[in-house]
Structure 1
Amino acid sequence: MAERMLQFVRLSQAQPEKRDIAARRSDFGEIYREFAAEAASAQASRCSQCGVPFCSIHCPLNQNIPDWLKLTAEGRLEEAHEVNSATNTFPEICGRICPQDRLCEGNCVIEKGFEAVTIGAVEKYINDTAWANGWVKPPSPRQERSHSIGIIGAGPAGLATAERLRSRGWQVHVYDRYDRVGGLMIYGIPNFKLEKEVVLRRWKQFEAGGIHFHLNVAIGTDITLAELRAKHDAVFIATGVYKARDIETPGSGLAGIVPALDYLTASNRDNLGDSVPDFASGALDAKGKRVVVLGGGDTAMDCVRTAIRQGAAAVTCLYRRDKANMPGSMREVKNAEEEGVEFTWLAAPEAFIGDGKVEAVRATRMHLGLPDTTGRQQVAPIPGSEFTVPCDLAIKALGFDAEDLPAMFGEPALAVTRWGTVKVDHRTMMTTLPGVFAGGDIVRGASLVVWAIRDGRDAADQIEAYVTAKAGAALATAAE
């Protein structure tokens, strides 16, 4: 190990090469080139193989990162893939979109002084190699079980649950209101971060493994939650959160002001070849427009970078805190800056200006105060600091809240929290309805794909325990 690992003292950190800025501004292709085998092996060898791997501790999936880095350094890629995929349902996706700078890499013990191991890029390399070589297989249970599970939502949480249960032989049915599998991984995240084929090939693979998908099915309209409960031995709710947060400001009803998800969905559907009337009409197309994006999270970064690729005349991001306090990935901010996005820090919108259609955003300068109870610095406006930003398209990327699921599902007994998220027993992940479980963003609030995968895998274990115990109790009762 000493010869192959701990090379951080000799080798500098290196990310895969980025495509030329002008080229990547002109299309929606992923911006990073592939690691060469030698480069991936060399970067993996920088791992210090520390006794307490903080990278693993700070990964929501607690992946065995030092193990698969060592295997990669030794050229044992198939084994690296097996170790990686043992704890992660979608490692090829996490390698692309996880904010590693805030999670595993941000907590790498060599970060201070030597720069972190490029964990995300190596993970992407391992699993792209695995797909290319046919090492990734559909779920293949050793024994079929008769009990069935219904899963509401084909996003990362629902798919992770489906894969784990199916691999153990359960009959799994996934219901989704959209026409493709993947949730926000398909319709919310742009291609330059996650090319859609990476998600769609998992859909095909899961179908080949015996998972049944029922698409264009809205729970509460096409089928009720009560009917699902009667049809399946357990139900898992993994709908995510889609209700856009809003701001009540003068002029908010003007044309040309749109929610981030509407904008991103239109762009992604257009890239998938769908007919999108609002995109074709120009309502959700930034071409030639002065675009202002409100917000500072990863969704805001997706919007500004999408607008650049659509040929916007100018793209400005307004965020009420400073760069250091942004909730999004610093890596994404850097990519956006390189591509020509202008950031206006410590600025909050106070009105939209226009005659029938937005023409400008009036904002005010902010200053940071003392931390609040969450530890984040409070913000307050600076009197007399108002300014305007010309704008033809304003995109609100202010976060997401839960939809009213009890009303949507026609199930008032489904309890929710004061934030509208589904209330669960966090030990069992069961809701107030017996046999109905929930996880992912609909329980956590808007969060990361990797946390949704963690919840999905944990929920599968809890569902299996519940159905097995229920079946055992029924047999015992029958025997009496």
Structure 2
Amino acid sequence: MAENPMLKFVSVGRDMPQKREASERREDFREIYAEYADAKAKEQASRCSQCGVPYCQSHCPLHNNIPDWLKLTAEGRLREAYEVSQATNTFPEICGRICPQDRLCEGNCVIEQSGHGTVTIGSVEKYITDTAWEEGWVVPPKPVRERKESVGIIGAGPGGLAAADMLRRAGVQVTIYDRYDRAGGLLTYGIPGFKLEKDVVMRRNKQLEDGGVTFKLNHEVGRDISFEQVREAHDAVIIATGVYKSRDLTLPNATSGGVVKAIDFLTVSNRKSFGDEVEAFEDGSLNAEGKRVVVIGGGDTAMDCVRTSIRQGASSVKCLYRRDRANMPGSQREVQNAEEEGVVFEWLSAPKGFTEEGGKVTGVMVQKMRLGAPDATGRQAPEVIEGADYVEGADLVIKALGFEPEDLPTLWDQPELEVTRWGTIKAEFTTGKTALDGVYAVGDIVRGASLVVWAIRDGRDCAEAILKDLSGASAIAAE
């Protein structure tokens, strides 16, 4: 009887791809994990217990068929593994790199809960699709037949791109409008290269372009083209703008020079990685080199900022977060990587203002906190410890406090576009339908700031709904 290639978690330990030494990775923006070799990918995939009820799959927003593609990988059937992975996920190599697996699939792995160490799902997912690209298995969308209907997508982030891919495969004509000069949204200009190298995103953009998707870049709706013009040009419109408005601080001296927004800092850094000339970097205003950097916030954007500052050559990097390590929203894996690279975390610390000299920030006035009674979300609310204030010296302060939606009804002169009390667009669950006929919305502009994998899920669900609606409309027109 042939040996069972699976269920080896008892005899084979968890083993992540080799991580470059912190002293080395501090010096560049390349990804920090090496690739699995074929034998190692098979070995780690073979640790899957092939659960009857796979919690990894149910806790994945895309419900990826993880046990099946792990089994195929363990058996050396990589092309089939890729096909299974691609069937539910438009960008598996991106999710394999940036999804917080410790909170999603891997965090709910049954063998992890039994004490054997989770299957390295994300690393195997990345390996499968990187191999597929190398072998030429990833091809542009090729519809069986072309359809005359067209869909305009506003925003070239993960939600918009995922919808575009699904619609093009069905033969729909797709045009994407984006305010930036490169497609990808936060994948391109928000997430640093050490988590997601930019050629990974650019090759997906090219794949979609080669498959017939039209990109209208440097086209900001409400400035370069009106929302009404987009609606008139297409049978349906998807709003996939994301949320880019940074939450701010109304504290003393918060407008001092050197107090900057995380999105501005990260965008400039990513532009430099592309080789662009960026004045704000060259003049030092958005460059951490030689500076004492303080980042305020505890999410994944804050982790991106502290680790980018290290690579830019900051003299010191500290992160202030008002709760403790156990209660921070960012990935614990990212915190560990940051600490290895030299970032100092000041837990239970919050800003109460800034010191300045000559209009330039010189420090953060910090108040120490303790965790009190749970708030409305069930998390313990931070409380100020009186008399424990101090000043943390700083030359550059980066505010990573999260993002809010822009006021699209006003910006686009669309008062009928309904929004929630948080400013996000009101859209039907699963389909993305809004109050406007033929207008849909997906991703962060509906959910609020969320994960890339949820934007992909929304984009795919919305594309499916549009295809049904367009087919229904075509049938009525033919009668």
Where structure 2 has 5 or more consecutive residues not aligned to the other structure, the ranges are: none
Distance 1:428 1:155 in 2: 18
Is the Cα contact below 8 Å between 2:132 and 2:138 reproduced in 1?
A: yes
From 385, 389, 392, the counterpart of 2:388: 385
The equivalent of 1:139 in structure 2 is 141
The equivalent of 1:415 in structure 2 is 418
Distance 1:40 1:271 in 2: 30
5 Å matches for 1:458-469? 458-469=461-472
What secondary structure is seen at the aligned counterpart in 2 of 1:267?
A: helix
Task: Note the aligned Cα RMSD (angstroms).
Answer: 0.9
5 Å matches for 1:223-302? 223-302=225-304
* Deviation of 1:338 (Å): 0.3
From 112, 118, 121, the counterpart of 1:119: 121
Which letter does structure 2 place at the counterpart of 1:35?
Y
* Deviation of 1:427 (Å): 5.1
Distance 1:200 1:412 in 2: 36
* Deviation of 1:228 (Å): 1.3
Which letter does structure 1 place at the counterpart of 2:474?
A
Is the Cα contact below 8 Å between 2:430 and 2:461 reproduced in 1?
A: no
5 Å matches for 1:80-479? 80-112=81-113, 113-355=115-357, 356-426=359-429, 428-476=431-479
Distance 1:40 1:182 in 2: 29
What secondary structure is seen at the aligned counterpart in 2 of 1:4?
A: coil
Which letter does structure 2 place at the counterpart of 1:182?
G
Distance 2:391 2:472 in 1: 63
Distance 1:230 1:360 in 2: 52
Q: Deviations over 1:234-259 (max 9, x none)?
A: 00000000000011110101100000
The equivalent of 2:7 in structure 1 is 6
What secondary structure is seen at the aligned counterpart in 1 of 2:79?
A: helix
Which letter does structure 2 place at the counterpart of 1:16?
P
TM-score (norm 2): 0.98
Distance 1:173 1:373 in 2: 42
Q: Deviations over 1:275-319 (max 9, x none)?
A: 110000011000000000000000000000000000000000000
Distance 2:373 2:13 in 1: 38
* Deviation of 1:425 (Å): 2.2
Distance 1:298 1:292 in 2: 15
Q: Deviations over 1:105-160 (max 9, x none)?
A: 00000113111000000001111111000000110100111100000000000000
What secondary structure is seen at the aligned counterpart in 1 of 2:362?
A: strand
Distance 2:163 2:372 in 1: 43
Is the Cα contact below 8 Å between 2:431 and 2:461 reproduced in 1?
A: no
What secondary structure is seen at the aligned counterpart in 1 of 2:364?
A: strand
Distance 1:344 1:433 in 2: 47
Distance 1:127 1:277 in 2: 37
* Deviation of 1:218 (Å): 1.0
Which letter does structure 2 place at the counterpart of 1:385?
A
What secondary structure is seen at the aligned counterpart in 1 of 2:9?
A: helix
Distance 2:130 2:166 in 1: 21
The equivalent of 1:35 in structure 2 is 36
What secondary structure is seen at the aligned counterpart in 2 of 1:7?
A: coil
Is the Cα contact below 8 Å between 2:111 and 2:118 reproduced in 1?
A: yes
The equivalent of 2:65 in structure 1 is 64
Which letter does structure 2 place at the counterpart of 1:231?
A
Distance 1:381 1:290 in 2: 25
Is the Cα contact below 8 Å between 2:167 and 2:467 reproduced in 1?
A: yes
* Deviation of 1:3 (Å): 2.0
* Deviation of 1:472 (Å): 1.9
Distance 2:3 2:454 in 1: 34
Distance 1:287 1:461 in 2: 47
What secondary structure is seen at the aligned counterpart in 1 of 2:391?
A: strand
Is the Cα contact below 8 Å between 2:430 and 2:462 reproduced in 1?
A: no
Which letter does structure 1 place at the counterpart of 2:98?
I
Distance 1:367 1:213 in 2: 50
TM-score (norm 1): 0.98
Where structure 1 has 5 or more consecutive residues not aligned to the other structure, the ranges are: none
What secondary structure is seen at the aligned counterpart in 2 of 1:350?
A: strand
What secondary structure is seen at the aligned counterpart in 2 of 1:43?
A: helix
Identity %: 62
Distance 1:142 1:31 in 2: 40
Runs of 4+ in 1 over 3 A off after TM superposition: none
Distance 1:275 1:412 in 2: 39
